[in-house]
A and B are shown apart, each in its own frame.
Chain A
Amino acid sequence: MKSVLAASTAVMLAAPAMAEPTAEVLHWWTSGSEAQSIAVLQEQFKAEGGTWTDMPVAGGGGDAAMTALRARVLAGNAPTAVQLKGPAIQEWYEETGLADIASVAEANNWAEVLPERIADHMKCEGQWCAAPVNVHRVNWIWGNKQILDEHGIAMPTTWEEFNAAAEKLQAAGVTPLAHGGQNWQDATIFETVVLGLGGPEFYQKALVDLDPEALTSDTMVQVFDQMRTIRGFVDDNFSGRDWNLATAMVMNGEAAFQIMGDWAKGEFLAAGQEPGVDFVCAPTPGEGFLYNVDSFAFFELDGEEKQQGQELLAKLIMGPEFQKTFNLNKGSIPARNDVPLDEFDDCAKQSAEAMASGSEDGSLLPSYAHGMALRGAPAGAITDVVTQHFNSDMSSEDAVQQLADAVANAM
């Protein structure tokens, strides 16, 4: 008995000496291509001698994962790494504190290779506290090439052109826009219209700074007018439709366009369609680049092996190799701007170029509809107004007034 005790004590004492990096990773990448993408990280982590405990929580676009996270943090048992994004990173930092990963970031020159705007999301009070995985562009419009060619329509570059094209299609009996009536999809169209009609500066003021003057301006009234026009371009059965079913409508030629982030590309590619041949991608009318960046944040934890795990994970996530493989699987583009893009498709290359130029001229902006620009409460309040307007006969003036009230109420 004594010897067993002694032996086990010896093992326990010896354990920290040969500390292996360990990581328990909470994420909501559970669907096919996403699960594949995270498996790449898992393999790399194990190859470096780490022990990976996977904690996938499916459901609700991350809501379920966030609930699990809250429970873990309240119980004083935070996971090593968590999939968090946008202002939620800073919100969690204020609530509980996050681990400082500046040593990894500085050793690997993150500041050099990340667009400044995106790097800012990864910092808490100036210190690196999260690592970006990918960049999705939200403001894409996808078209069915065959339908567009048949009716002699080019991808629209202004909202007037879009309206004209849609009316032409409607007259010919084609549903112009495939859309799913879920509030985040309504919000996605809304933010692309804000960007298109108001321009990057207006977008920044209205949906990032929540400037009341911008929210009640004439431009915003025009935005809601355009939303009303767009409402006329969707088919009758759009309520509650999932986004991938809307993408399928474009694929099958039931509709001409869809406005959706570049995860829609994955659906086209999975169906064996080729960009430029079967479908066309273009930025939504207007200038600018709305990004949706997935990232991992790290909680402050005791225990050397956990801290090592966090550092290793941060290093791997930002490694060029992982950024390439992951994003090829996921359909997004690497957050690093120095990853060779030879294996990526044309839409991804176009996206990377736009990100680089947007970073220089200030038109690289966070997506509000995907939780990059605002915290939960104000973002939700805006979405409520947008979706209520889109699904009723509310006037644009009323919508603008409600928008300003809702934002003030949510602060």
Chain B
Amino acid sequence: MEWLERNVPKLVLAPSFVAILIFVYGFIGWTAWISLTKSRLMPKYDLDGFGQYGRLFSAPRWDVAMNNLFIFGGLFIVISMVLGLMLAIFLDQKIRAEGVLRTIYLYPMALSLIVTGTAWKWILNPGLGIQQAIRGWGFESFTFDWLIRPEMAIYTIVLAAVWQASGFVMALFLAGLRSVDTEIIRAAQVDGIPTHRIYSAIIIPTMAPIFLSAFIVLAHLAIKAFDLVIALTGGGPGYATDLPATYMYAMAFSRGDLGQAAASAMIMMLVIFAIVVPYLYSELRPRRDQ
């Protein structure tokens, strides 16, 4: 009985532990193995060194995909956080109808990325969307054709993704703002400190953990971005808006090139590690002040 009591937690956790061991770490291992073979249509298991990585890094399309990841990821995270913070601060001014506004801003998060992508595809289409509408109002020379310009198309993805995610970031920040001790703020107000200084010197610094959470959530959204690209641009024009995830999909499922797909998946995983490992390290290390 006593043994059972001690071991129930272990027994209950065992199945999910085993499942994660196999289906997450096991298959990461399998993918790593495949990335070192000459697998094409079907997996082969004879090791062949790092040839697939050589092919990957000499493919111009992979370069474009990685560059796009940094452009998209960087802009998406920064703009979403700045916009989200601004919205949260404005909503925090004890305004009327805050509940309604909050819902409106948060609503895009409830949509699937496929819906977001398809809607923005039409909005941004020069012949159907914004450009056509504004030209219809008499501004004949108005041009907004990012969607069909290879060098600008990646920014349309940033636009749609920011539209989708900034409301969510706003909600995170709003919760953070509300959790700041009101006594401190009152004290600052009594001392006659201007509002913008209260925010920049007191409120925002106390919200540092919220920034970190928002960053981690947005960063993993950016790296796994796939459906938005597929719906909005299909990776085009050409392959100008390819991301590593769409590259991997193309190699694995359209081209019958499993080795390439596995190699690109491993690189994606390393990128995620580069972001998550420092975070875990900072979270898990023993706190000095406790």
Which residues does A use to contact B, with CB under 8 Å?
A: 60, 63-64, 66-67, 70, 73-74, 88, 91-92, 95-96, 181-183, 186, 235-240, 375-377, 379-381, 384, 387-392, 402, 405-406, 409-410
Contact B42 A70 (CB under 8 A): yes
Once the chains are docked, how many angstroms separate the CA of A375 from the CA of B41?
10
Nearest B-chain residue to A186, judged by Cβ: B238
Distance (Å) between the CB of B53 and the closest chain A CB? Answer: 12
* With A67-B253, A182-B234, A384-B239 as contacts: A96 and B42 at CB distance below 8 Å: yes
B41: chain A residues at CB < 8 Å are 70, 88, 91-92, 95, 376
Partner of A239, one of B43, B148, B254: B148
Partner of B60, one of A88, A91, A375, A402: A402
Once the chains are docked, how many angstroms separate the CA of A83 from the CA of B29?
33
List residues 27-51 of chain B with CB under 8 A from any CB of chain A.
40-43
Nearest B-chain residue to A70, judged by Cβ: B42
Chosen A-B contacts, 25 in total, with CB atoms closer than 8 Å, are A66-B253, A70-B42, A74-B42, A96-B42, A182-B236, A235-B127, A236-B127, A237-B126, A237-B127, A237-B148, A239-B237, A240-B233, A240-B236, A376-B257, A380-B250, A384-B59, A384-B61, A388-B61, A388-B238, A391-B150, A391-B237, A391-B238, A392-B238, A409-B55, A409-B58
Partner of A236, one of B145, B151, B255, B260: B145
Partner of B238, one of A66, A183, A236: A183
Nearest B-chain residue to A390, judged by Cβ: B238
Distance (Å) between the CB of B159 and the closest chain A CB? Answer: 16
Contact B145 A376 (CB under 8 A): no
Partner of B254, one of A60, A181, A235: A60
Distance (Å) between the CB of A34 and the closest chain B CB? Answer: 20
Distance (Å) between the CB of B49 and the closest chain A CB? Answer: 16
Partner of A387, one of B145, B147, B239: B239
Once the chains are docked, how many angstroms separate the CA of A67 from the CA of B250?
12
Contact A237 B257 (CB under 8 A): no
Interface of A is mostly: helix
A66: chain B residues at CB < 8 Å are 253, 256
B233: chain A residues at CB < 8 Å are 239-240
Contact B55 A236 (CB under 8 A): no
Kindly state whether residue B240 has any CB partner on chain A within 8 Å: yes
Once the chains are docked, how many angstroms separate the CA of A60 from the CA of B125?
23
Contact B253 A239 (CB under 8 A): no
Once the chains are docked, how many angstroms separate the CA of A64 from the CA of B237?
23
Contact B254 A237 (CB under 8 A): no
B61: chain A residues at CB < 8 Å are 384, 388
A237: chain B residues at CB < 8 Å are 125-128, 148
Distance (Å) between the CB of B33 and the closest chain A CB? Answer: 15
Contact B238 A387 (CB under 8 A): yes
Once the chains are docked, how many angstroms separate the CA of A384 from the CA of B129?
28
Distance (Å) between the CB of B43 and the closest chain A CB? Answer: 8
Contact A63 B254 (CB under 8 A): yes
B40: chain A residues at CB < 8 Å are 91, 375-377
B42: chain A residues at CB < 8 Å are 70, 73-74, 95-96
Contact B239 A239 (CB under 8 A): no
* With A60-B254, A402-B60 as contacts: A181 and B145 at CB distance below 8 Å: no
Nearest A-chain residue to B147, judged by Cβ: A239
Contact B256 A377 (CB under 8 A): yes
- 8 new A-B contacts, CB < 8 A, other than A74-B43, A387-B236, are A70-B42, A183-B236, A183-B238, A183-B239, A376-B254, A376-B256, A391-B240, A409-B55
B147: chain A residues at CB < 8 Å are 239
Contact B60 A377 (CB under 8 A): no
Contact B257 A377 (CB under 8 A): yes
Nearest A-chain residue to B257, judged by Cβ: A377
Distance (Å) between the CB of B131 and the closest chain A CB? Answer: 9
